[in-house]
């Protein structure tokens, strides 16, 4: 295995593949030994050699997309307690699923999770399929998630590659190509190292390595079990990798949210459309979210004409800023105290509305941005 420790130049293509083949046994062996002694204790993770629960692995992998382990753990525990099997989740009301998901973000994951559970029950007898090919046919399961489930839950020699593993591969083989252009190259390199045995433990070892040792800033190379194989460390460039292409600035959208309160403590909410951003979630009524610069935003006194009910609307000082994946949202907030039986009949989307008492808001399927809006309005009312 001497060749595995040889220093390579910044590499791409065939030279990277040669380096990967040379290290294809030593790296997995070292990582698995490290994992056996240093792995993270996670509620969905079984001890080495113990079969995992495919449902719990699938649920964890969906929740972990774009979300940290620390954030996911309490949500995962709540889901498993409420819906302990895929059949239980499939039989759940979708709004209940969205309610439990509220605050976790990226809500299409929750909708796909529910649809996927129903598909597993209908097509696979309530058992998740074990191959990446079958898994990818299910709603919301892409290349990474299918590989993670196949490897971790079923021991298949699949290669999940998330952001942590991309970073490890970029440093291990000193890949100078910026992300996202380097994704296919890093995937190919990772595949050359995946062992036939203990593929699930190996995948989790790589995830743990990226999360705890080979971190984005100041990697702990002295603690790394595969440091002697790392070409970036040999070149002294580990902290500079992976390189990333410059991101275009996010556009800003603006709008006005209307928080209607009744004297008996209720708030007017409406359901968002079934497609698009935050589909099926609840919100306080608002104007359209327009791209800033597309036109002069109307004065607030004109915006009041789009309010869902007639009332003495006034602007809550300050505003709400929320950053989505692809844009930044700035909302003005208008508040009004309206009669308990306020007339909604003149409003176009009356059927989508409901009055919810303030004490019950915590249990509603409200996305984080709408919780910010309501908290802002209620704080001003206090």
Active site residues: 61
**What Cα–Cα distance (Å) separates residue 43 from each residue in 72, 73, 112, 203?**
11, 7, 23, 17
Would you call 196 exposed, middle or buried from its count of C-beta atoms within 10 A (0-12, 13-18, 19+)?
exposed
234, two tokens: 């040999």
Cβ distance 376 to 318 under 8 Å? yes
| Residue 206 contacts residue 38 (beta carbons within 8 Å) | no
Q: Is there a contact between 284 and 259 (Cβ–Cβ < 8 Å)?
A: yes
Structure-token pair, residue 187: 């995937």
- Which two three-digit tokens encode residue 110? 């929750």
**Cβ atoms of 57 and 149 closer than 8 Å:** yes
Q: What are phi and psi of 20, to 5 degrees?
A: -65, -45
**Of 276, 275, 274, 267, which Cα lies nearest the Cα of 353?**
267
Q: How far is CA 100 from CA 39, 139, 258, 364, in A?
A: 29, 19, 25, 8
What distances in angstroms separate CA 359 from CA 265, 267, 356, 362, one per listed residue? Answer: 8, 10, 8, 7
């Amino acid at each position: 295995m001497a060749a595995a420790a040889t220093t390579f130049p910044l590499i791409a293509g065939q030279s990277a593949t040669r380096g990967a083949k040379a290290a294809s046994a030593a790296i997995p062996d070292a990582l698995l030994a490290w994992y056996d002694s240093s792995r993270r204790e996670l509620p969905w993770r079984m001890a080495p050699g113990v079969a995992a629960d495919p449902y719990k692995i699938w649920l964890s992998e969906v929740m972990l997309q774009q979300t940290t382990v620390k954030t996911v753990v309490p949500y995962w525990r709540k889901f498993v307690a409420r819906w302990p099997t895929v059949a239980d989740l499939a039989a759940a009301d979708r709004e209940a699923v969205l309610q439990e998901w509220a605050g976790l973000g990226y809500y299409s994951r929750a909708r796909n999770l529910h649809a996927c559970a129903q598909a597993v029950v209908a097509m696979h007898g309530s058992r998740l399929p074990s191959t990446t090919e079958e898994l990818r046919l299910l709603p919301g399961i892409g290349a990474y998630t299918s590989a993670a489930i196949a490897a971790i839950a079923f021991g298949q020699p699949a290669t999940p590659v998330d952001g942590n593993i991309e970073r490890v591969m970029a440093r291990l083989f000193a890949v100078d190509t910026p992300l996202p252009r380097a994704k296919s190259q890093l995937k190919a390199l990772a595949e050359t190292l995946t062992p036939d045995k203990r593929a699930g433990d190996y995948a989790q070892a790589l995830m743990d390595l990226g999360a705890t040792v080979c971190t984005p800033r100041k990697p702990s190379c002295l603690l790394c079990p595969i440091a002697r194989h790392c070409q970036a460390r040999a070149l002294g460039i580990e902290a500079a990798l992976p390189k990333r292409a410059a991101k275009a600035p996010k556009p800003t959208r603006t709008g006005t949210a209307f928080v209607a309160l009744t004297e008996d403590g209720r708030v007017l909410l409406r359901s968002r459309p079934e497609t698009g951003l935050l589909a099926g979630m609840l919100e306080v009524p608002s104007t359209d979210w327009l791209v800033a610069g597309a036109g002069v935003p109307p004065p607030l006194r004109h915006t009041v004409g789009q309010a869902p009910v007639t009332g003495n609307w006034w602007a809550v000082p300050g505003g709400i800023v929320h950053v989505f994946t692809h844009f930044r949202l700035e909302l003005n907030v208008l508040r009004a105290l309206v009669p308990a039986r306020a007339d909604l009949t003149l409003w176009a989307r009356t059927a989508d509305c409901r009055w919810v008492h303030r004490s019950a808001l915590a249990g509603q399927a409200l996305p984080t941005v709408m919780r910010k809006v309501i908290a802002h309005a209620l704080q001003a009312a206090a």
